[in-house]
Amino acid sequence: MHELIERSIRAFSEYFQNFFVYEENLLSKIDPRVKVVGFTILAILSVSTFEIEKILFIIISIYLLAFLSGISIVKLMKRSYLFPLFSFFIVLPTMFFGEPFSYVLIFSLRIFAAISSLQLLIISTPFNDVISALRALKVPEKLLNSLWVTYIYSYILVRDLLAILIARESRRVKRSGHIETMKRGGEVLGLFMLRSMEKGEKVALAMKLRGEPIGKVKGSKLLIPYFLLVVVWWTIL
């Protein structure tokens, strides 16, 4: 059981380490403001309905755009599956209270469509460009600072947690019992908490010295007709 927990924690850490990774692609040439507004609208449309046709239409629109932009469909799905899978198991017990299985499936598909939309934004746009686009769209500065701190801090914490787990495995020469695992797990948790507080202070000081993140808010507006067409067809369905 404890080995399953360890593998789950490691897989979870690896997933989040890649969650905010940016890759150069055709969508990178699109104005970040267009992408922020467009993909946010797609995410909102995804979670605002329980009609399966509309949800599947949004998913197809997202993955078609990814394919046309040269982004791996498999990679995008790998970066989007965890939250929908988690929500599926969370909502699954509602079947015991009279909800049909279709409700559980549609609920998970809604989450999958929304996460895929946001992931397509993240994979095609550096996060500092996202912050600059939000600033250009007059989003409150306090919210932007919170987003930037959360992004930096989360990435560093997940990287440290994965490093601790790898170091622990490399020093282990035999299988441990449950008591030994709980003891070592407590030590790892304590080390992780200490490093979290230390890194949190360093991140705050570094961001204060560097000032506001600078990104570009220019590029092609080619995606505007595509987003408008998706919204129109979603409304018609």
pLDDT digits (tens, 9 = 90+) for 157-202: 766 666 666 666 666 655 555 565 556 656 666 666 666 666 666 6
pLDDT of residue 67: 92
**What does pTM read for this prediction?**
0.77
pLDDT of residue 214: 58
pLDDT of residue 165: 66
Please tell me the distance from the alpha carbon of residue 185 to that of residue 2, in angstroms, as a whole number.
10
Which residue type occupies 122?
Answer: I
**DSSP percent split of the chain into helix, strand, coil, nearest 5:** 80, 0, 20
- Residues 119 and 79: beta-carbon distance below 8 Å: yes
pLDDT digits (tens, 9 = 90+) for 204-227: 666 556 655 555 667 778 888 999
Confidence check: pLDDT of 112 > 90: yes
Among 170, 225, 224, 168, residue whose Cα is nearest residue 36: 224
pLDDT of residue 129: 85
Mapped onto helix, strand or coil, the DSSP state of residue 210 is: helix
Which residue type occupies 33?
Answer: R
30 - beta bridge partners?
Answer: 220
Map tokens 């949190």 to a residue: 200
pLDDT of residue 237: 80
pLDDT of residue 1: 47
Radius of gyration from C-alpha coordinates of the chain: 21
The rounded percent of the chain whose pLDDT value lies above 70 is 66
pLDDT digits (tens, 9 = 90+) for 54-88: 999 999 999 999 999 888 898 888 888 888 888 89
